[in-house]
Structure 1
C-alpha cells in the first residue's frame, strides 16, 4: 500500500471521530455537514481500495496474505458508510456517537492494513 494514503485516511477518520464526538458531547445528532465529512472520508477509503486492488492486480502481495488484506480493505470501505446509515435511524446524540465509533474502527483498520501489507510503501 501507499503509506501516505494510509496515514491520510487514518488521520481523516480520527478527525471525523473527534468532530462527531464533539457533536455528541453537545447533545447534537449528525447533521448535513457531518455527512459531508463522512463522504470525504469514504472517498479517501474508496481511493485506497482501488489502489490496493490495482497493486494486487500488478502482482504485488501483502506479507500476511491476500485474502485477509482484501477482507480488511472491504471492511474499511464499509465502516463509515455503515455508521452513517445507522446514525440516520438514531436522530439523537447517539447517532453522532455511532459515527464517531465507526470512524475509530476505520482508524484501527488502517493500522491493521498497514501491518498486513508489511509496513512499507511505494
Structure 2
C-alpha cells in the first residue's frame, strides 16, 4: 500500500480531531470550515480506497488477508462522512465532539491499515 498516503491521511485526521475538539472545548458547534476540513480528509480516504483497490486488482496481496483489508478500507472511507452527517444533525458542542471522534477513529483505522498491509 502507499505508506505516504496512509501517513498523510492519519495526520490529517488527527489535525481534524484536534480542531473539532478545540471547538467542542470552546462550546461551539461545527462550522462550515470544519466541514471543509472533513471534506479534505474524506478526499484523502477516497484516494486511499481507490489506490488500495487498484493494488488488489493488480495482484498485490496484504499480509493479513484481502477481506479484512477491504473492510478496513471501506470503514476508513465512511468514517469521517458519517461523523460529519451526525455532526450536522447535532448543532451543539456535541456535534464538534462527534466530528473529533470521527477523526480519531480514522487515525486508528489508518494505523491498522498499515499493519494489515504489512508495514
Tell me whether the two structures share a fold, i.e. TM-score over 0.5. yes
Aligned-partner Cα distance in 1 for 2:88–2:111: 28
Helix, strand or coil at the partner of 1:108: helix
Aligned-partner Cα distance in 2 for 1:12–1:88: 20
Helix, strand or coil at the partner of 2:104: helix
Q: TM-score, normalised by structure 2?
A: 0.99
Where do 4+ consecutive residues of structure 1 move more than 4 Å?
A: none
Aligned-partner Cα distance in 2 for 1:73–1:2: 13
1:43 aligns with 2:43: yes
Q: Provide the alpha-carbon RMSD of the alignment.
A: 0.3
Helix, strand or coil at the partner of 1:10: helix
Q: TM-score, normalised by structure 1?
A: 0.97
Q: Which structure 2 residues correspond to residues 90-109 of structure 1 after superposition, within 5 A? A: 90-109=90-109
Tell me the CA shift for residue 110 of structure 1: 0.2
Match of 2:72 in 1: 72
Give ranges in structure 2 of 5+ residues lacking alignment. Answer: none
Aligned-partner Cα distance in 2 for 1:9–1:28: 25
Match of 1:114 in 2: 114
Tell me the CA shift for residue 89 of structure 1: 1.0
